[in-house]
Amino acid sequence: MEKTEENDDSRIQLSKYTIALLENLKLIKSKPQPDETSRITVSQTASFFALAYEKIRNAVEYRESHLIRKSAIDRMIRRRLALNPEAKGEAENLIRELLWARYFSNESLGIEDVSNVQNIIDKYLFVKKTISASYSEFVFDLMVCEIEEVLSPAEAKRNSLFTFFLYQVLKNKVKMDPLTEEQKNIAFYVALEKTYSKSDTAYLRFHLFALSHKPFSQMAKHELSEITSELPVLFDQIDKTMKTPSPRSLNRFIKNQSPPFLILFEIMKRHSPDRARKTLEYKKPLWQEVWTVCKEKYSQTQGKLTSLAIRAIIYIFVTKMIFALILEYPVSLYIYNEVNYTSLAINSLFPPFLMFLIIALTRLPNEQNTKRINERLIDIVDADKSFETSISFVVRKVQTKRPVLVFFFTIFYLFTFFATFNLLHLTLNVLRFNMISQIVFVFFVSLVAFFSYRISQIAKEYKLREKESFFQPFADFFFLPFLSVGKFFSTNLARLNFFGVLFDFFIEAPFKIIVEVIEEWVNFARSKREEIA
């Protein structure tokens, strides 16, 4: 991407929201490093084995990258509470595990962190014992999220400020009839959490709870006792708010608005608030910074696409494909008295090929996109209120004005669905696929199509909305049925992640004991060396 010079160096009058964001970023202090007497050190030998295990474990459970650490905390605490329900002294064990797996750098956590985490665990277990067991998972989600945020407070605070800034700038651009202003604001915030922040159920619960209450760990015991009677109603209300589906058009609106915000936030993360402000106040240095950041992000996106494609293939192969292929061979032999090795090879090799083909054909943003991001970013940070106050998105109650057309469109969609799979069935018959092999093929291809589609959306993370291509409707004709089936399989068969269960209950516990023994041996050997010295 060749750089185009920006000759306009006029000054930008920053908006009150932008200034407030920069001032709040100044208040964020980096978490102090523990001193030599309090920091926790783990051996590099133990860390090597724990890190290798976490890489393998994460490969068999497909998650967004920003949720991997939280997921690890969740998994580690569940295992430790199963062995020690009272969780006495488990905070230090948890922190050591996180350091072993390098979710935090060695010696970056200390005794104070142990005390803070133990306080969180104790407070949440107290609440868990005082309310109905049906809310245990909700309480557990709150505990896990708070532990992660307490161990990385600067990152959590910065992300919260960015989300709130986006909420302030965009909320008045959206009109949602017939909702009240308060209902609209809550609905819009939830849509932001799901679409921009990509929060899972646990973080959605945690952030919605934080809108009205401080964390349990910051409450005294008498405060916790007083609030427990209110929690079931509050938890039910939060879950109801979360489960209310956001209009798909609203989610698209947020996605389309996000690219310039992402670039703006990246600029603010790279520089001090004062330096960022100087950059934002003049168009020429702002363009130079936007161009540099966009170029790097586009390049990183290409690597991210490949990495996620590999992770998805490993996930699908390990959790689904092995069983299906093992099933295909004996069932085909039993029912048809023969095995078509061609179909077996195609079912093994075609899905990964399809995944990488789709990723290879995914187009990255170009310089025109960078220019549009720069223009939109100026609108966002400029003091002129016209951008924030102009209604650019309206959600209305859907009214079916032409039911006959809707009926025929539905019939046509069903026709495309059956036509696509019938065409595939005829093609596979020519290749002498038996019915078992055909079912396995559809299963794999649908899953790969769905995951490929989700991964390819990452390329649009920094793309401002562009016109749909002429051929898109024709591609949808054949592709949508596979996406629909793939989504169904992904959603409903996620619980069949046998390898995840195997790792959590039969491998992780004994493996971590071995790592602890290695850690103790290294410490013992070190102390003996020191005695000799």
HEC-encoded secondary structure of 390-412: CCCEEECCCCCCCHHHHHHHHHH
Above 90 in pLDDT, residue 404? no
Phi, psi (deg, nearest 5) at residue 395? -105, 120
Mean pLDDT value across the chain: 85
pLDDT at position 69, please? 95
More confident residue, 327 or 430: 430
What whole-number distance in Å separates Cα of residue 507 and Cα of residue 525?
Answer: 27
Q: What number is the average pLDDT over the span 303-319?
A: 76
What whole-number distance in Å separates Cα of residue 340 and Cα of residue 518?
Answer: 49
Scored b (16 or more CB within 10 A) or e, 92-103 reads: bbbbbbbbbbeb
pLDDT digits (tens, 9 = 90+) for 58-95: 766 667 889 999 999 999 999 999 889 999 999 999 99
Above 70 in pLDDT, residue 470? no
- CA angle at residue 456 from 454 to 461, to 5 degrees? 95
- As a whole-number percent, the residues of the chain with pLDDT over 90 amount to 44
Above 80 in pLDDT, residue 527? no
Q: What number is the average pLDDT over the span 46-55?
A: 83
Number of Cβ within a 10 Å radius of residue 171: 15
Scored b (16 or more CB within 10 A) or e, 287-307 reads: bbbbbebbeebbeebeebbee
Q: Which helix (H) or strand (E) holds 275?
A: helix 273-280
- Picking from 244, 234, 259, 255, the residue whose alpha carbon sits closest to that of residue 184 is 244
pLDDT at position 381, please? 95
Above 80 in pLDDT, residue 520? no
What whole-number distance in Å separates Cα of residue 346 and Cα of residue 485?
Answer: 20
CB 187 within 8 A of CB 95: no
pTM of the predicted structure, to 2 decimals = 0.82
72-76, 114-118, 334-338, 401-405, range with the lowest pLDDT: 401-405
pLDDT at position 309, please? 81
Q: From residue 280, how far is each of 375, 380, 405 by CA, in Å?
A: 12, 11, 50
Three-state SS at 15: coil
pLDDT at position 323, please? 62
pLDDT at position 336, please? 78
In the chain, the amino acid numbered 87 is: A
Above 70 in pLDDT, residue 458? yes
Above 70 in pLDDT, residue 373? yes
Q: What number is the average pLDDT over the span 195-224?
A: 93
What whole-number distance in Å separates Cα of residue 102 and Cα of residue 510?
Answer: 20
More confident residue, 3 or 465: 465
Give residue 303's pLDDT band: very low, low, confident or very high (50, 70, 90). Answer: confident
